[in-house]
Amino acid sequence: MRFLASLLCLALSATLAHAQPSHGLSVFGDLKYPAGFTHFDYVNPDAPKGGKMSLIGIVAIDTFDSFNGYILKGDPVQGYELMFDSLMARAMDEPDAVYGLVAKSADLSADFSTLTFTLRPEARFADGTALTSADVCDSFRLLSTLAHERIRLTIREVKSCDAPDASTVRYTLAPNAPRDLPVTVAELPIFSKAYYATHDFSKQTLEPPLGSGPYQVKSFRQGEYATYGRRADYWAKDLPVNKGRFNFDEIRYDYFRDRTPAFEALKSGVIDLREEYTSRDWATAYDFPAVKDGRVLREELPDETPSGAQGFFFNLRRPQFQDVRVRQAFNLAFDFEWENANLFYNSYTRTASFFEKSDLKAEGLPSSDELKLLEPMKAELRPEVFGPAVMPPVSDGSGQDRKLLRQAAKLLDDAGWKADGGMLKSPQGQTLDAEFLIDAPVYERLLGPYIKNLRLIGINATLRTVDEAQYQRRMKTFDFDLISSRFSMGNTPGSELRIYFGSASAKAPGSYNMSGVASASIDALIEDAVTAPTRDALNTAGQALDRVLRAEQFWVPNWYKPTIWVAHWDVFSRPAIKPKYDRGIVDTWWYDPVKAQRINREN
């Protein structure tokens, strides 16, 4: 029996289990807000309602063709989650706590086998029909059978969902279910059973669906914009979890094919707010008149969430990347120090861990508790796992560090790739090909110097730019050599570890396991983390997992920054406290007509 498994049964009753129904849930049983709380600390409970916010949202997404964001097919519109309620709502100033929304209480049995929710009788869909336990269980049926693989994987240990009566939902959990499963279940979206009796949930659609959430689709033009209107009759607007939230009458997401017109849209006032992702633009482009006279504000909001992992990910399904020495050579050829100084205005810090800015990040040598997890599988792990945690190389900042490039060339030679006419070839005469797949020209300036270094050591590195639709299709089907990606997990990662690193997700279309990592040892460590009975045990399991993942070198780590760059017209106000684990922009800000009048920008 593994180290943590023996502790699990003893600790379950001390984590999520409750002797009586509770107003909230958290992974390890700790709740900040008591029963009867009136609102979250990070909202203004008296925030005025009204006005509009137009924004770009996630700049990497430049089109949409579906309002169903829960399936693999299609490119979902941003903001679709605003249309749906869940049993409980997350508190964004706690690591993993949720509090009653559709459900007024939750009761987890002491043996962790059943999770029972009592629903609020006043819950309603936007068409006025009652939201009942039948809708909750039918939603689970749709999600567990037809939803995206990344959703289905997180709820696979739910054995059944039953509705004893209209206001009671009872989930039966499998033995040894992940400790975060109750919270995951509590956050699942709720759909109308009657609506999906006549609509196919498995298909992408541009018909706005029926929901029970605070917003509904007001207008849209495919691939150009989508506007959500706040529901004045929203049944849950005065609940403690919603007080001071959802303040805009309209939220509009605009789409642009590339970053230049998106930036011009902010300058000209077409949109109100833009999050900036490009260090060069943040350092040099915000010198237009509206910034100089204070009508447009540049703000750096603190980002206290785990930064996760951004990097160039190898597709391990490709034969040329099977040897870890090849992957290590790619790492040695990337000169982050030069790029940070010359392209990024020294805005970033190098990413080293898959759990950067998190207690799960491995540091130095393995602790004694980590070794208890790692030693039993020592024969299957790389020797580097038992030394100091693998770190990315540090260059001399010249752009072509000869020492590192010589090390890379030697590793490639040792792996059987021999120089032939300036290119490396395998014993079978094949060149070492590496195509970077991108969907925006901005990446060309980042990858150009890196590709130059790779070609210097004989790698046939190339760049392929495709449109967003083709990019999404190739990403979902793993049709790439290397791809730039970023993912971050929650403050208390659990089932999502299987999605990012588990063998079961390696071949699932659309999986977040971009590299196709498939290892029994990694799977075992994931389960140690997923079933960890305490936060300390989770941190230990996560650190051990991080060591093993980093030793595999299946990515070239990129960078992160501790702040969020936002530029917006000065027409908004916000609470004095920012939610620790969220931007809070759409959720807690509000339109300020006094500010808008001052700069002559009323909406």
pLDDT digits (tens, 9 = 90+) for 465-515: 998 889 989 999 999 999 999 888 888 998 889 999 999 999 888 888 999
Which residues share a beta bridge with 438?
Answer: 465
Q: Output the average pLDDT for the chain.
A: 94
Query: CB–CB of 355/305 below 8 Å?
Result: no
Query: CB–CB of 597/109 below 8 Å?
Result: no
Query: 135 or 489: which carries more pLDDT confidence?
Result: 135
- Compute the average pLDDT of residues 400-428: 96
Angle at 503 between CA 501 and CA 508, to 5 degrees: 95
What percentage of the chain reaches a pLDDT higher than 70? Answer: 96
Residue type, 405: L
CATH 3.40.190.10 domain range(s) in the chain: 10-48+61-196
User: According to the model, what pLDDT value does residue 7 have?
Assistant: 38
pLDDT in tens, 249-275: 999 999 998 888 999 999 999 999 999
CATH top class, domain 10-48+61-196:
alpha beta
Query: CB–CB of 352/392 below 8 Å?
Result: yes
- Compute the average pLDDT of residues 592-598: 97
CATH 3.10.105.10 domain range(s) in the chain: 309-560
Bridge-based pairing of strands 309-314 and 98-100 is unpaired
pLDDT in tens, 201-217: 999 999 999 999 999 99
Domain 217-232+240-304+572-598 CATH assignment equals 3.40.190: yes
User: According to the model, what pLDDT value does residue 10 have?
Assistant: 35
Pick the CATH number of 309-560 from 3.10.105.10, 3.30.420.40, 3.50.50.60, 3.30.1330.60: 3.10.105.10
Is residue 409 pLDDT above 80, yes or no?
Answer: yes
Stated pTM of the model: 0.87
Is residue 16 pLDDT above 50, yes or no?
Answer: no
User: According to the model, what pLDDT value does residue 321 have?
Assistant: 98
Is residue 441 pLDDT above 90, yes or no?
Answer: no
pLDDT grade, residue 59 (50/70/90)? low
Residue type, 530: V
Residue type, 276: E
pLDDT in tens, 304-324: 999 889 999 999 999 999 999
Is residue 17 pLDDT above 70, yes or no?
Answer: no
The number of angstroms, rounded, from the C-alpha of 353 to the middle of its chain's C-alpha atoms is 16
